[in-house]
A and B are shown apart, each in its own frame.
Chain A
Amino acid sequence: MERPLSGTRPAPPRPRAAGRPLGWLVPAVTVGGLLPAVILIQDAVSGALGANPIQRATLQTGLLTLALLVLSLACTPLRLLTRWTWPARIRKSLGLLAFGYGVLHFLIYLFDHGFSLGVMVDDVVKRPFVTAGFTALLLMVPLALTSRKDSVKRLGFQRWTRLHQLVYVAVSLGVLHYYWGVKKDHTPPLIYAGIVIALFVVRWAAPRLRSGPRPARPAPGRPG
């Protein structure tokens, strides 16, 4: 379906650490992505989460999961459209942050139900709304476990890429989970669905346009 993407190949050797271009980028994304968790904890402590703090924390961590997942999925299309190389460098961080918030979302759900396995199994089996969210989180587990660079080597690039295409299923289930979770105003989940579909279209179309008769643009310059 999708051809190997250059951004997932091991980066070329850098001349020296201090002068490494965009060396600040990945730490900045990591810190920026973790700040909402810090703010959430602060809100919980100060009572700013309102009358139903558990519900608010559940909603907020769920939205953070989806937003970060969509951002991680936007990296490749962005690179394909712009020929920038930096989006590929933050993709893994965004994906792992999404997974982290997904786990937090799930832990809050478990806490809400007294860590009752019976309630959880009942919900997952009987309610498509929960089934979709739970499956999305499960699909992210192998992706998080194989997010290290040496996982690409150990699995082989092709298998690693195929495995990581599970993220398309995960994000679709995530949007469905959000859609089903909303009582009435479906506009926000539909906006997410629209963005995800647009990203799929770019992924599908950009390489095909590129392999067409004329190159869209001159080859990208190396950073630095």
Chain B
Amino acid sequence: MPNDKDQPGTPPTARREFLKSAGLFTVTAAGLAGGLEALTRRPGAGSAEAQGTAFVRPARPLGPYDTKEAVTPWEQATTYNNFYEFGTDKGDPARMAASLKPRPWTVKIDGEVKKPQTVDIDTLQGWFPLEDRIYRMRCVEGWSMVMPWLGFPLASLIRRIEPTSKAKYVQFTALYDPKQFPGQRGNVLDWPYVEGLRLDEALHPLTLLAVGLDGRVLPNQNGAPLRLVVPWKYGFKNIKSIVKITLTEQQPKTTWALAAPDEYGFYANVNPAVPHPRWSQATERRIGELGRRATLPFNGYADQVAGLYKGMDLRKNF
């Protein structure tokens, strides 16, 4: 069957021209599309394989602080993380998590305490009965999750180490080790990551030191082996991979408050009435949902914690 291009009078070069043009068309289109994808596409989520199953979680009724809202699936809670020590992309922590070695691990406790000491993480978590707490978590960026933490109240630890009368604040310091934290090789933030709480905030029964998630050992990308959870504050207050807890007289100089003091305050209480300079904080997207929901004052914990800030202007002390 003769090709319909092969008509009498058409020079044979026309077909060759057509094929050449088609080839150039394909190469150019694919090249441009490939280039644009390389420039703009962000890597997909890292894999979140099961990370050990050391904890056996007893079935239990919901406690007084638990939310009844649906828990964020493990897959999303462990692949969508802000943990700049691993990298600034939310997929980086899950991808790079293997570089962190959470055992052996020691935590130094010092400052205005009567019993300063350095304690192994397993010893530390053995001191207290571990509790499940299903908390809302609200990121300053406008997304939220519901996290089934496993841990113990920070208050238990503080009472055990006996603060002196000078202690007014608690300062937390995360691990600094660029070998384990590739994100620390750049100067994105002033390492090590430091966070802090006022002593009354630290002693609040909602404030947790977490060592697990959903009945399992805390995955590296979620802040292993020890992280802070303060559910009425924005997520960045919840410092991960803690190596030092210091009780201080002065308000700690915390990492994000130093990096951008107009955007990230020391208190960082979830507050729909105080916008971030670049976006409103009135709404949030719960991970797994397409739409937005209203953000609650103190992330829904106002009944428990609003009293801590009586008389304070939370627009100034944001």
Contact = CB atoms under 8 A, between A and B. Distances in A.
A51 B91 CA distance: 10
Q: Number of contact residues on B: which range applies?
A: 35 or more
A64 B36 contact: yes
Contact of B36 (A27, A52, A68, A119): A68
A49 to B, nearest CB: 8
B29 A112 contact: no
Contacts of A114: 291-292
A50 B45 contact: yes
A27 B25 contact: yes
Contact of A54 (B17, B21, B44, B290): B290
A33 B280 contact: no
B37 interface: yes
Nearest to A94: B32
A55 B25 CA distance: 33
A184 B88 contact: yes
A119 to B, nearest CB: 7
Contact of B28 (A28, A60, A180, A181): A28
B257 interface: no
Nearest to B44: A48
A39 interface: yes
B182 to A, nearest CB: 13
14 contacts: A27-B29, A29-B29, A29-B32, A33-B32, A39-B37, A51-B288, A52-B80, A63-B40, A67-B36, A113-B292, A123-B279, A130-B278, A183-B141, A184-B189
Contact of B25 (A28, A51, A53): A28
A221 interface: no
Instruction: Report the 7 A-B pairs with minimum CB-CB distance, sorted nearest first.
Output: A32-B32, A51-B80, A35-B33, A32-B29, A28-B28, A63-B40, A24-B25
B287 A32 contact: no
Contacts of B44: 48, 50
A64 B17 CA distance: 33
Nearest to A180: B278
Interface in B72-101: 76, 79-80, 84, 88, 90-91
Q: Number of contact residues on A: which range applies?
A: 35 or more
B280 A119 contact: yes
Chain B CB within 10 Å, residue with most, of A32, A68, A112, A126? A32
Interface of B: 14, 17, 21-22, 24-26, 28-33, 36-37, 39-42, 44-45, 76, 79-80, 84, 88, 90-91, 141, 143, 186, 188-189, 259-260, 275, 277-280, 283, 285, 287-288, 290-292
Contacts of A52: 80, 90, 143, 285, 287
Given A52-B143, A181-B278, A67 B39 contact: yes
Given A54-B285, A67-B39, A28 B280 contact: no
Interface string A161-193: 000000000000000000011011100000000
A138 B303 CA distance: 45
